[in-house]
Each structure stands twice: as structure tokens, then as C-alpha cells.
Amino acid sequence: MASESSGVHRLQESADSWFVRHVGALKSVMRIVFGIVWGIDGFLKFQPGVSDSLAGMISDASNGQPGWLQPWFSFWSQTVSGNPAFFMTTIGLLELALAFALIFGFLRKIAYTGGFFLSMIIWSVPEGFGGAYGPGSTDIGTGIIYAFCFLFLLILNAAFGPICWSLDALLERRWPGWRRIAELRGEPESGPRSPRTQSL
């Protein structure tokens, strides 16, 4: 029994050590996977007939919502119904731009901030704040989760500083002033072993 417990303990220590040793690469991989998800989402916005459903999605999201939220949904439904293709194309292009920024590590500070606000708009308009809420509610929608993911990316960027595996890093070496628009902290990289080089 003691031998089995010792084996489990060694396995846990080995797994913990592996994650600690590869934390920089894992964070970059997760950023890239998140970018691929946004890329697929953006690509789907250009499928035939999708734009025609946008006004209906907003109208459906307003069903069951409290009366004080109805003006919010009425405004967006009327605005979008005038030119749904424009709005769907804009959303799709923004999502593809976010995908590019996440996958290649480009303008991360701006991308993470923009991604947060875009996710909040998606959550609050076509997703109807994840509601309406009642006895049959099962979740709060995906947009708010995406918004929190972008917020966590911003926090990690602030905590760890510049990353060496990104387009931003290449641009910062050529133009040091690029850090001001790409990083939450405009400090130069301090070497490959520094935690500041392992940011998202």
C-alpha cells in the first residue's frame, strides 16, 4: 500500500514538474488554440444565409427578457435589420483579425482588449446576456466566458511581460517603441529563462 502511494506521489511530482518546465510553451499553445477557435467562428460568419438570421437571433434573444431590457434589444434589432450583411461581415472580419492576433501573437494588448469588448457585445446582444433566466436555465452563454478568457490573457501579459514566441517580439527587437502598443508592460525582454519572456 505504501509502495502504491509512493508511486502515485512520484507520478504527481513528475506531472507537476513537467507543467512547470513547459509553462511558457503551454501558455502559447493555449493562446494559439483559442485563436483557432476564433478563426473557425469568424469563418462560419461568411456562410450563405447566416447574415439573414442575425436580426432574428436578436429578436429571439429578447424573448422572456425583463421589460427594462427590451429597449436594448429593440435598438439592436432595428439597427441590424437595416443591413444585416454589413454587421455579420464586420463581426466575421473582427473575429478573423482576433484569430490572426492570437495565433501569431500580434498586437496582443490591443487584441486582448478588443476581444474582451467584442465578446461582451456578442454576449449582450445576440446571446441575450445568456438569458432569459428562469427555472429551465442551464448556462449563461459563451460570450461571457470568452470575455473572461481575454481578461485572463491581459492579466497574464501584465504579470509575465513580453513573450519571445510572437510577431510582437520580432517587431520589438526592430522597433523598441512597439512595446508600448503590444505589451501591458513596456520592458525589454531579459532573456529566454526569464518569466517575463513566457507571457501570452
Beta carbons within 8 Å of 143's beta carbon, 6+ residues apart: 119, 120, 121, 122, 123, 124, 127, 130
Q: Rounded to a whole number, what is the distance in angstroms from the first to the last CA of the chain? A: 42
- pLDDT of residue 188 exceeding 60: no
Q: How far from 92 is each of 78, 89, 98, 138, 195, CA to CA, in Å?
A: 20, 5, 10, 27, 35
For residues 160 and 154, the model is more confident at 154
Handedness of CA 177, 183, 184, 190 (dihedral sign): negative
pTM (2 decimals)?
Answer: 0.81
Measured distance CA(157)–CA(19) in Å, rounded: 19
Binned at pLDDT 50, 70 and 90, residue 75 comes out as: very high
Measured distance CA(39)–CA(48) in Å, rounded: 17
CB 173 within 8 A of CB 182: no
To 5 degrees, how large is the angle CA 48–CA 49–CA 53?
150
CB 151 within 8 A of CB 115: no
Most confident of 51-60, 72-81, 135-144: 72-81
Q: What is the pLDDT of residues 164-180, one digit of tens each?
A: 778 988 898 899 888 88
Binned at pLDDT 50, 70 and 90, residue 198 comes out as: very low
- pLDDT of residue 197 exceeding 50: no
Measured distance CA(119)–CA(124) in Å, rounded: 9
Residue 45 pLDDT: 93
Measured distance CA(51)–CA(89) in Å, rounded: 8
Q: Summarize the confidence of residues 17-37 as an average pLDDT.
A: 82
Beta carbons within 8 Å of 48's beta carbon, 6+ residues apart: none
Residue 12 pLDDT: 73
